[in-house]
Chain A
Amino acid sequence: MPSTPATPPRLTGEALRVGYESQRVLDGVDLAVAEGKLTVLLGPNGSGKSTLLKTLARTLAPSAGRVCLDGKDIHRSNTREVAQRLGILPQGPSAPEGLTVRQLVSMGRFPHQRLWRQDAEQDARAIRAAMAYTDVADFADRSVDALSGGQRQRCWIAMVLAQETDLVLLDEPTTYLDLKVQVDLLELLARLAHEHGRTLLLVLHDLNLAAAYADQLVMMRDGRILHRGTPDEVFTAANLKAVFDLDANVIHDPHSGRQVCVPTSVPRAATLPQVVAAQMSA
């Protein structure tokens, strides 16, 4: 069993249902996002992990159950007040043509600004800090759309950081990026949780990266949570089989102390020429 967190969770989902009777995307999900930790939602395509993140982010409204932020129903709260505490980065965001990095990052200050009342000092400080932390300050005045995928994603993360929220939800922040770039991003996000006490919830696709960087893993399938806990507890061959229908060995890397899965279900019988022949005859 996971140890009880030191501080009570601020973001919780209770008995969440999303979708209709015939097609439930979420089917009675309970989740309390552990404070100051990096939690990763894992599951096969269509398992509901992205839907759960969107529901917790108030992008989707559940058909039953509720999401609470600091004890208050998030879907009934003032969206700007929520945005002062909870930042989200949707999957694959796109910046308009010509928007500079600095302009993008400065949008993160939106929930803290009023038309007649802005703390320019505080805004500038938060923007500088976010750009420094994500290492995008060197190209602050270049267009976002002219940058590489990894740089661009760092800019978006900088925008969410400039929002200065304790909770940050990110939907597949590393998809379509090179492995090295993915690793760098996850290092950055893990430091946010471990050194700055932020609470992070991520959807990830890569099992080994999830196991390497998550403090808590939440494994989903068919709209339900099947397993949750630390990677040591739940990243097992039996669970990967149950959640992903994946035959794999899970080995413990003695150097990093991390769990690694190695797929074993390689089809030996069919060679490539045979597969091609089978397709051509079909």
Chain B
Amino acid sequence: MTSSTLLKHPGGSMGDTHQARYLSITALLVLVLLASMGLSLGLGSFPSPFGKVLNALVTPQDSDIAFIVWELRLPRIVLAVLVGAALAVAGAILQGIVRNPLASPDVIGITSGAAMSAVTFLALFGTSLSIHWLPVAALIGALLSAMLVFFLAWKRGITPSRMVLVGIGLSAAMGAVTTLLIVVSDDAAAMYAYVWLTGSLYAAQWQDVLGMLPWLLVAVPLCLTYARHMDAMALGDHVAQGLGVNVLRSRLVLMACSVALAGAAVAFAGGLSFVGLIAPHIAARLVGRGFARLVPATALLGALIVLYADLLGRVAFLPKDLPAGIFVSAVGAPFFVYLLHRTRYRSH
């Protein structure tokens, strides 16, 4: 049984047409994602026809591009999909908890905590320790900053608005430290730090995929089991409590899922902003209300966004390989302004 059938809204014949629409849109997104992954496998500094790529995938021992497909492109593509999905779901969770469409992992300090920690690692151990420890440093930074935001925002419980304010303040402070560290560290480390901060999937390996995957496998099902709680909390804390939701516990579990997803994504792909902001919005337009429906569509859209951003970075400016973060931000920043404008307009 899938979670969508378990968690669907009960009641009525009209609910079934909504259900059918949701299922067809989600299925369509899956197909588009698979096709895009196939397209991306064939493109690069060494373009390969689809037949050759397929051949390399199925019988790598007989193919002369097996190394390019299996070791260079596929891990990078899979990581892009996982990172995009994780960032998007992390954003959907946060927007649900905070009940503000402008919330995203960047806003409450998760991204900047990971960034500060990663840059600190590069500045202090960039020459002495293996770069493979960078994701660990970033992840620890993400978790610590999330805990700090929680601790500072705690006042006999957690209110979303205070959490956002504390997160913004803490982000600014940690951003300053990050800049300072880049300025004082040597050129090579500073260069690497810059690329990492923009968000890049350059030189992704299967090891990164395996590091990323468990976070998704734990956090996404866990947040789905709280889908009805999330829907109830969207009606306000008091209504949710009246319905029997343990608001504090639900919020903590969902927050933990969001931090784990965003922290892991940032650890393996750097500071990709705006994915967690854009994907949930488009998904909500497509599948409507209900967190259990929103999560799969959001994850697929986030995966598509990062996949295409990385594809553009790889092939649009050959021989340069540009960080995917540039393209996500190029689309994301105007979108953010649009949302801001729309929110302000609506409130009048």
A residues with a Cβ closer than 8 A to B are: 54, 57-59, 79-84, 86-90, 93-96, 98-100, 102-111, 113, 115-116, 118, 120, 123-124, 127-128, 140-141, 160, 163
Partner of A88 from B9, B11, B228, B242 at Cβ < 8 Å: B242
In the assembled complex, B246 has its CB within 8 A of some CB on chain A? yes
A140 to B245, CA, bound (A): 24
Chain B residues whose C-beta falls within 8 Å of the C-beta of A140 in the assembled complex: 12, 14
CA distance A90 to B225 in the complex (A): 26
Out of A94, A103, A108, A160, which one reaches B290, CB within 8 Å? A103
Contact of A80 among B239, B244, B289 (CB under 8 A): B244
Identify which of A80, A89, A94, A115 gathers the most chain B CB atoms within 10 Å of its CB.
Answer: A115
Query: Are A110 and B245 in touch, CB under 8 angstroms?
Result: yes
Q: Is the CB of A118 within 8 A of B288?
A: no
Question: Knowing that A89-B242, A128-B11 are A-B contacts, what are 10 other residue pairs whose CB atoms are under 8 Å apart, sorted by A's residue number?
Answer: A57-B242, A58-B241, A79-B244, A94-B235, A103-B290, A107-B243, A110-B245, A124-B11, A127-B12, A160-B242
Partner of A82, one of B6, B7, B231, B244: B244
Distance in angstroms from B235 CB to nearest chain A CB is 6
20 A-B pairs (CB sep. < 8 Å): A59-B238, A79-B241, A80-B245, A80-B246, A89-B239, A89-B242, A90-B239, A90-B242, A93-B239, A94-B235, A98-B284, A102-B11, A106-B9, A107-B232, A108-B243, A110-B244, A115-B225, A123-B10, A124-B11, A160-B242
Considering the complex, give the chain A residue whose CB is closest to the CB of B10: A123
Q: Judge whether B14 and A141 touch: CB under 8 Å.
A: yes
Q: Which residues of B contact A58 (CB under 8 A)?
A: 241
What separation, in Å, do the CA atoms of A107 and B289 have in the docked complex?
Answer: 12
Instruction: Determine the residue in chain A with the shortest Cβ distance to B9.
Output: A106
Which residues on B sit within 8 Å (CB–CB) of A111? 243-244
Residues in B lying within 8 Å of A, measured CB to CB: 6-7, 9-12, 14-15, 99, 225, 228, 231-232, 234-236, 238-239, 241-246, 284, 288-290
A123 to B15, CA, bound (A): 13
Distance in angstroms between the alpha carbons of A150 and B201 in the assembled complex? 54
Residue of A nearest to B227 (CB): A115
B228 to chain A, nearest CB (A): 6
Which chain B residues lie closer than 8 Å to A95 at the CB level? 235
CB distance from B68 to the nearest CB of A (A): 45
Q: How far is the CB of B281 from chain A (nearest CB, A)?
A: 12
Closest Cβ neighbor of A123 among chain B residues: B10
Minimum Cβ distance to chain B for residue A160 (Å):
8
**Min CB distance, B294 to chain A, in Å?**
12
- Most chain A CB within 10 A, of B238, B242, B245, B246, is at B242
Q: Whole-angstrom distance from the CB of A159 to the nearest CB of chain B?
A: 8
Complex Cα gap A56–B243 (Å):
15
Given the complex, which residues of A lie within 8 Å of B99, measured CB to CB? 96
Task: Report the minimal beta-carbon distance from B22 to chain A, rounded to whole angstroms.
Answer: 13
User: B15 near A102 (CB under 8 angstroms)?
Assistant: yes
B6, B11, B231: residue with the most chain A Cβ atoms closer than 10 Å: B11
Min CB distance A83 to B, Å, is: 3
The distance in angstroms between the C-alpha atoms of A127 and B234, with both chains bound, is 19
Query: Complex Cα distance A98/B10, Å?
Result: 18
Q: What is the bound-complex CA distance between A109 and B245, given in angstroms? A: 12
Q: What chain A residues lie within 8 Å of B242 (beta carbons)? A: 57, 59, 83, 86-90, 160
Assembled-state Cα–Cα distance A141/B288 (Å): 12
Q: What residues on B are CB-neighbors of A96 within 8 Å?
A: 99, 234-235, 289
